[in-house]
């Protein structure tokens, strides 16, 4: 699967309907966002490694996943711009929030998606369009921010270098 703004927006809107207050809505929003990323993000790395005799590992591509942690809470902002700025900062604040999970057989150091998400206000007046604009910006921020990692795969030692997040 791959992340799409439409899919993410639909998942979030569905989750927040019926929220009773800002705290409830933020928790549901964040859970839906995390569930969507974990269920749909595909993270690809090139793998360059050799064994002790110098032979290259025939495995050259790693497909990893993302595990999310953390939470969001109401930020008390009084304007849309301030709320979106705080929300962006919350999503960017903690590298461990977006951890890379390596596939079985790979023992690699920790790697994280360290996003640069900057959500700007949308002029949309309809919920689906406004959420689509937010989700487009979240996905764009996630796609530009991953790390490399060193480690092992069986008898091979090498480096995983980020190539693509879809």
* pLDDT average, residue stretch 24-37: 90
Please state, rounded to an integer, the average pLDDT across all residues of the chain.
90
Considering only CA atoms, which of 15, 7, 3, 5 is closest in space to residue 134? 5
Contact by Cβ (8 Å): 114, 95: yes
Residue 73 has pLDDT above 70, yes or no: no
Q: How far apart are CA 99 and CA 23, in angstroms?
A: 25
pLDDT-wise least confident of 13-22, 67-76, 107-116: 67-76
Q: How far apart are CA 119 and CA 141, in angstroms?
A: 9
């Amino acid at each position: 699967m791959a992340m799409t703004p439409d899919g993410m927006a639909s998942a979030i809107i569905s989750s927040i309907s019926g929220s009773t207050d800002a705290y409830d809505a933020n928790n549901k929003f964040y859970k839906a966002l995390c569930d969507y990323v974990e269920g749909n993000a595909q993270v690809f790395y090139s793998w360059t490694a050799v064994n002790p005799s110098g032979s290259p590992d025939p495995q050259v591509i790693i497909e990893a996943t993302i595990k999310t942690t953390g939470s969001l809470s109401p930020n008390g902002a009084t304007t849309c711009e301030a709320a979106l700025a705080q929300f962006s900062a919350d999503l960017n604040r903690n590298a461990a929030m977006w951890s890379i999970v390596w596939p079985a057989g790979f023992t690699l150091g920790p790697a994280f998606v360290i996003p640069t998400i900057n959500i700007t206000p949308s002029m949309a007046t309809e919920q689906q369009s406004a959420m689509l604009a937010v989700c487009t910006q979240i996905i764009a921020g996630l796609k530009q921010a991953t790390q490399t990692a060193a480690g092992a795969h069986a008898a091979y030692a090498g480096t995983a270098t980020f190539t693509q997040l879809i």
